[in-house]
Amino acid sequence: MKVKARGSFAVLLLAGLGMIAGMIYVSLTNGEFDITVKDIVRTLLRINPNPDYDLVVFEFRLPRIVIAVLVGMGLGIAGAVIQGVTRNGLADPGMLGINAGAGVAIVVFLYFYQGQIREITWFSVMAMPLFGLLGGLMAALMIYLFAWKNGRLEPQRLLLTGLAIASGLSAISLFLTLRMNSQDFEMVAVWTTGSIYNANWKYIASILPWFAVLIPIIYARSHTLNLLQLDDDSARSVGVQLEKQKGILLLSGIGLVSACVSVAGGIGFIGLIAPHIARRLVGQAHQRSLPICAVVGALLVLAADFIGKTLFSPVELPAGIIVAILGVPSFVFLLHRRKGRA
């Protein structure tokens, strides 16, 4: 039975990676300036390089694809962690206010960095994830303070508190954005909706260290995440240092979300949808569901970004809006299903 489960997991993982490769192919070859597969290969392998193809592939399309894959992976894994720690299938970094907390901190940074936002420097791109982490931690702390009751974290209070805090922090972000000059306001307004149109290699370099450190930490605790699905007393009885492990996992999840928000703004619902799809495909065990969450998240963001930049051309719709169009019905469906089981 275990061999069969491992085989199906491997098949699903390879199928997901194949779909990602297909989306990368479509994103590289299609757009305002179509490029053939032959020219893409010649450009990547540096065979008789063409300056026009170099510009389109290396400066515009490839950084955007890499950012989409990384952001989707990060949000999918972070969503699984937050749902696992809170034991709440409706928990999501966006709905719990973590996206908004990271976003408002980054907007504060951009507000004081005003007039230089378009000058992308190493200082700005490396500082933004740090500000995002501080904002995400601030939001998480407020959620804990308000949702904690009678010595435990109540799932219903957690969700309601997160939604309230997210609304308040989003209002602060909007207030600061409105006080910016017109050029910076336009850029930040698009960014806050969840857009990766401004992707570049510096942004990729700024979030890669976060992914390289935090994803292995989370995956190494996948068995602990499984045990956290038990009640607190049962988890303690098998030797889990409950508060310590919850703290490490939540901090790692918030760090991933903050890094993603710093380069792509507030793309919501990925952390909600990806874990549910992964659990339906491979079951509850986080050793298998976490990699599938990463694949599903990457595929969703890649597809949303491609749809947003091509379907409404020459107008470009941010990926966050496309994801929201899919995410809202999914959230209502999940909420209705949980209500039916209650």
Can you spell out the DSSP letters for 165-218?
A: HHHHHHHHHHHHHHTS-HHHHHHHHHHHTT--TT--HHHHHHHHHHHHHHHHHH
Average pLDDT value over all residues in the chain: 84
Question: For 158-214, how does the pLDDT look when each residue is reduced to its tens digit (9 = 90+)?
Answer: 778 888 888 888 888 888 888 887 777 777 777 777 888 778 888 898 889 999 999
**Which residues have CB under 8 Å from 162's CB, separation 6+?**
91, 95, 96, 97, 98, 143, 147
Query: What's the pLDDT band for 235 if we cut at 50, 70, 90?
Result: confident
Question: Tens digit of pLDDT for each residue in 47-56?
Answer: 888 888 888 8
Flag whether pLDDT at 115 surpasses 60: no
Helix (H) / strand (E) containing 152: strand 152-153
Contact between residue 326 and residue 273 where contact means Cβ atoms under 8 Å apart: yes
Q: Model confidence over 15-73: pLDDT tens digits?
A: 999 999 999 999 999 877 888 888 888 888 888 888 888 888 898 899 999 999 999 99
pLDDT for 265 beyond 50: yes
Q: Say how many C-beta atoms besides its own lie within 10 A of residue 80's C-beta.
A: 28
The single-letter DSSP state of residue 145 is H
Q: Give me the domains of the chain, ranges plus CATH numbers.
A: 2-90+192-341 (1.10.3470.10)
Rounded average pLDDT over 144-167: 75
Provide the pLDDT for residue 200. Answer: 85
CA 281 vs CA 198, 217, 229, 245: distances in Å: 34, 24, 18, 26
CA neighbor of 230 nearest in space, from 250, 245, 220: 245
Q: From CA 64, how far away is CA 264, in angstroms rounded? A: 10
CB 69 within 8 Å of CB 260 = no
- Predicted local distance difference test score (pLDDT) of residue 121: 66
Residue 36 or residue 2, greater confidence: 36
pLDDT > 90? residue 287:
yes
Please say if the pLDDT value at position 155 is more than 70: no
